[in-house]
Structure 1
Amino acid sequence: MKNFSLFFVSIIILFVFISSYSFSFQVKSVSNLQILKNGNHSTLQFYQPVLQREKAPQLLLKVELEDSEYIVQPKDTLYSIAKKFNTTVENLQKINNLGTSTVLKVGKKLKISSDELLVYSPVDKYELKFKTDKILMLISNSIVVFSPLNNGKVTFTGNISGFGLSVIIQSTQFSIIISGFNNIMVQNDQTLNLNSCVGIISNDGMLNMSIFKNQQMLSLKEFLVKSK
Structure 2
Amino acid sequence: MTRGKNATPTTQAKRGQIAMWMLTKFAMIFFIIALSMVLLSLSDAEKGGLCRTQAARIGEGVRGAITQVVNSPVEDERKVYSLESVLSTGKADFERYSLMFTHHAYGDGKHEIRVTLSSQSTDCVYERAAPFKAYEQDENNGFRLFLQGATYNPENHSILLEPSKPGDRSRYAVIVKCREKSYPYHQYLFLEDCRKDDPNECLSLNSGLPLACCGWEEPGGCDAASADAGDTT
TM beyond 0.5: no
TM bucket normalised to smaller: under 0.3
More strand as a share of residues: 1
Which structure: larger Rg? 2
TM-score norm. by structure 1 comes to 0.27
More helix as a share of residues: 2
